Amino acid sequence: MKRYASRNPKYLPEKFYNLKADLGELPPPPLNPATRQPLNPSDLEAIFPKSFIAQEISTERYIPIPSPVLEAYSVFRPTPLVYASRLQKYLNTPARIFYKYEGVSPTGSHKTNTALMQAYLANQDGITTLTTETGAGQWGSALSYAGSIFGVRARVYMVRASFRQKPGRRIMMELFGGEVMESPSPTTDSGRKYYQENPDHPGSLGIAISEAVEVAAKNPEFKYSLGSVLDAVLLHQSIIGLEAEQQCQELGINPDLIIGCVGGGSNFAGLSFPFVRKKLKEQAEIKFLAVEPEVCPSITGGKLTYDHGDSVGLTPLLFMYTLGKDFVPPPIHAGGLRYHGMAPLVSHLVKKGIISARAYPQDKIFQAAEIFLKTEGILPAPESAHAIAAAIDEALEAKKINKEINILFNLSGHGFLDISAYDRRK
């Protein structure tokens, strides 16, 4: 078997795929936090660009990708789909393992997919600045890069634990023209409370979201941009799975199991949702596994209920698996997975039994990352190493029963700027 599927330009989709068109039953709608009634799209205009809102509420099956965004994608897309033959040989398993490698993007992660689209929409709406949060820094880097392409500034509230662990990400954001704030900060009402209680507060994505939303709500020239969770973000990320479908056909394989790490859900959803369509509409025999950290187990340890997406309570109420908006996880190295809630669409599929979930401790994640580096030659981001750990476990389980299966996972980012985390892993 070939080790790589080709990166033929014809595999770059011209439209995003919207899973909502094929669900039949949609998740419960977002609620207005003041009235607790279903959210009116106009309620979102205080913080989001209008063009983004239109995509957020759309139930159209396919959404065209504008030509300027396609041009920006063509710099790095289609991304590789790789047969991890060396990992398979190391494990001595009959399972064949494949990964879609999103680390080749300009900022090294899948986040660039939605960042480019959101920056383009903001520019079309005349927005000068997008505010946002970032955990490990991948999303902040992606939005800063996308803003430099489409003429929109990025103000990024970076979770303090990652701000101090990963200075390389901050430097990258600033090189692209982004403004980076350590969160919680004393510059917003949302952050000041936490900062005054403890200037060394490790922060959380929920707190950083509150700061970014507050700034957008108070400044008419600013709007807010979110890197995961929302329907439109998952829509943009579907480009991963759409490419992977065609690349799998080229290699002559049908995935039996699709794996992705989950923090807010965009990485996992981006790869899996086009294949979920195959399960829903074509009765394809595919299993889906979402992997999260044990210390922030929103699916495996949380409740399915309405909750705010931020810590202060400024955002709409989303029906999702959540640990509660006040939850502050320990400062693990997989900073992009330190979020208290899960995307409503991912949560809905878990409830329906289409997706299963698993949580792993950090030491197991680093062990899997080292194996992957030594076999496949790529240092993964700690977030993506969660998917690798699950792929290894599933491949070893297949070995026990001598079963040939095809495992596909999303390698959503490289670990070059996380190298200090590996130095402190023990």
Q: What is the DSSP string of 94-124?
A: S-EEEEEEGGGSTTSBTTHHHHHHHHHHHHH
Beta bridge mates, 134: 158
∠ CA 410-29-300, nearest 5°, is: 45
If phi > 0 it is left, if psi is from -120 to 50 it is alpha, else beta; for residue 14 that is alpha
If phi > 0 it is left, if psi is from -120 to 50 it is alpha, else beta; for residue 32 that is beta
Helix (H) or strand (E) holding 360: strand 355-360
What pLDDT is stored for residue 94 in this prediction? 98
What pLDDT is stored for residue 205 in this prediction? 83
Question: Phi first, then psi: what are they for 328, rounded to 5°?
Answer: -120, 105
Rounded CA-CA distance 228/66 in Å is: 21
The dotted CATH code for 66-108+231-423 is: 3.40.50.1100
Rounded CA-CA distance 424/426 in Å is: 6
The answer to whether residues 407 and 96 touch, using CB atoms and an 8 Å cutoff, is: yes
Any residues with CB less than 8 A from the CB of 271 and at least 6 apart, and which?
A: 100, 240, 241, 244, 258, 260, 408, 409, 410
What pLDDT is stored for residue 218 in this prediction? 92
What pLDDT is stored for residue 424 in this prediction? 63
Rounded CA-CA distance 48/42 in Å is: 10
Helix (H) or strand (E) holding 217: helix 205-218
What pLDDT is stored for residue 334 in this prediction? 60
Q: Any idea where the domains of the chain sit in the sequence? A: 66-108+231-423
Q: Please give the structure tokens belonging to residue 165.
A: 């662990």
Rounded CA-CA distance 394/407 in Å is: 8
What pLDDT is stored for residue 426 in this prediction? 55
**Number of neighbouring beta carbons within 10 Å of residue 90:** 16
Q: In the Cβ-directed half-sphere of 399, how many Cα atoms lie within 13 Å?
A: 14
Q: Please give the structure tokens belonging to residue 407.
A: 């495992």
pTM for the whole structure: 0.94
Coil, strand or helix at 283:
coil
- pLDDT of 370-412, one tens digit each? 999 999 999 999 899 999 999 999 999 999 999 999 999 999 8
Residues in the chain, pLDDT under 50: none
Q: Which is nearest to 150 in space by CA: 127, 123, 130, 129?
A: 123
Report the chain's terminal Cα–Cα distance, integer Å: 37
The answer to whether residues 293 and 362 touch, using CB atoms and an 8 Å cutoff, is: yes
